[in-house]
Amino acid sequence: MSSVLIQALQFVLALSLLVTIHELGHFLAARMFGIRVDKFYLFFNPWFSLYKRKIGSVEFGIGWLPLGGYVSIYDSRERLYNEETALKERLKDAKAELRKAKRSGNEAAVAEFNDAVATLETDIERVREEQRTLAPEPDELRAKPAWKRLIVMVAGVFMNLVAAMVIYAGILCAWGEDYLRNENVVHGYSFSEPAKELGFEDRDRILSIDNEAIGNAEEIGMKLLLSEADRNITVVRNRDTVTFTIPMERLIAMREAREFAGMYTPIQLPYVVDGYSNEAVEALGYRVGDQIVAVDDVAACSGEVISPMLAERKGRVANVRVLRYETDSVTLAERPVYVDIATPINEEGMIGIMLKEQPAVEFTHVDYTFWESIPAGVKSGIREVKSYWDQLVMMVNPDTKLYKEVGGFLSIGSVFPDTWNWLAFWNITALISIMLAVMNLLPIPVLDGGHVLFALYEIVTRRKPNEKFLEVAQTIGFMLLMLLLIYANGNDIMNLFK
């Protein structure tokens, strides 16, 4: 099975699950308050459905357009809406015939179609007036008090948030949690060339960003890449504490160039001299405590990187750079000194030194019992909600240029791994669930957040918004949503050609 197909299957499975959970929230809340539901659909079904079955008064089905799903709540005005749509189509045809009659100079036809247009316009106004004045039936949503309608509208978002927290709790209970404490990276980090251009140096131990201590090593990348201001970085460098500033513009340029992959890597086991296998090696100029930091001008900080480099140069002489600390004769302070040593590499890929035993950098693993995983899952969900909200706020700030990186379905699908991995699948599904919840709460008409806003207005003012205003707002909200979808998916298509 191809990697693209595996990613697509994971995306469709996650989306299907989350859309069903979201719509189930609306469905259950509506039924709880005695509101009639006509349809419950996974995916949209313009023109036809892939599957449908009526159970009781509700039609359950699967559409063919995987852009979401819907719960259709009964509205006694539906007949009038359909009548208005049909009248508008007839009006459109009548106006077209009227234009033809005018062009042909047929006065009788002009008079006939003028009358038809006027009659149809009158009928449309009559139907609209009926829509505004038709009293709701007891099992309609609009017949219920505003607070009940508010609960129905937020139920989908609530279910997505609960689903994310349940998934996180399940992950912690089944797999536990693995993370790297920044304080455990005792040997510092090695950095990519783009990161070095920002001001980092190999072996830097990062203490804080903007005076906030780093707990989880993963926080470093998030704090740097999602920047809305310059970042002040404090590191331990060559036994000294150093603070430097990275301009926001340079961080944005790095993010846009997608140079953040492998930006920093913890140094596992530094290559530190602890002795010699023969006097000839000592005569080359090595000292106990020297740390090898480069081979033939190629930076290398850890043994797992240096050993293969030496093996590639067996039987040759390599220029090995070491870092050592010497005491200043005047200030008595230790200062770093870099020394290049021409070093013969034997046929076994060795240089004849003994390495100092170093504590390995270890990930922290935490196991959770069933009961411990529940509050931990809730905490993880709240943390991710805050993180995603912060990103949305940054997105509307043009200075961050984060709006350029808004992605659509291809971007979301590409987040899934190209091999099936249940841990990764559930982590990403939980994150998408939070994204759906937060996005749906945005105060845009046609989204749940728009309906919530109108319901809150009614609760506070004790009067319903004007029907005409609601109609216009829904139209504008739909257009905004379509523009956002076009923009996001357009970005995906453009990125395919970059």
Dihedral sign of CA atoms 223, 224, 226, 232 in order:
positive
Question: What's the pLDDT at 433?
Answer: 94
The DSSP symbol for 143 reads G
Both tokens of residue 123?
A: 């009928």
Question: What's the pLDDT at 172?
Answer: 95
pLDDT tens, 469-483?
877 888 888 888 788
* pLDDT classification of 207: cutoffs 50, 70, 90: very high
Mean of all residue pLDDT scores within the chain: 86
pLDDT tens, 112-138?
888 888 898 898 899 888 888 888 889
Q: Of 345, 242, 349, 356, nearest to 291 (Cα)?
A: 356
pLDDT tens, 42-76?
888 888 899 999 998 899 999 988 878 889 888 88
Give one word for 86, left, alpha or beta, with left for phi > 0 and alpha for psi -120 to 50.
Answer: alpha
Report the C-alpha gap between 53 and 451 in whole angstroms. 29
**Beta-strand pair 291-295/334-344:** unpaired
The DSSP symbol for 134 reads P
Question: What's the pLDDT at 383?
Answer: 92
Strand, coil or helix: 313: coil
Residue owning tokens 């509307």:
396
Strand, coil or helix: 367: coil
Max distance between CA atoms of the chain, in angstroms, equals: 117
Report the C-alpha gap between 431 and 435 in whole angstroms. 6
pLDDT tens, 411-427?
777 778 888 889 999 99
pLDDT tens, 139-169?
988 889 989 999 999 999 999 999 999 999 9
**Beta-strand pair 58-62/51-55:** antiparallel
* pLDDT classification of 496: cutoffs 50, 70, 90: low
pLDDT tens, 374-417?
999 999 999 999 988 888 888 878 877 777 777 776 777 777 88
Long-range contacts of 370-378 (CB under 8 A, 24+ apart): 370/173, 372/172, 373/169, 373/170, 373/172, 373/173, 374/169, 376/168, 376/169, 376/172, 376/177, 377/165, 377/166, 377/167, 377/168, 377/169, 377/170, 377/171, 377/172, 378/165, 378/168, 378/169
Question: What's the pLDDT at 30?
Answer: 94
Report the C-alpha gap between 433 and 428 in whole angstroms. 9
Question: What's the pLDDT at 393?
Answer: 83
Strand, coil or helix: 391: helix
Question: What's the pLDDT at 498?
Answer: 62
Question: What's the pLDDT at 484?
Answer: 79
Q: Which residues on neighbouring strands pair with residue 341, listed in sequence order?
A: 320
* pLDDT classification of 449: cutoffs 50, 70, 90: confident
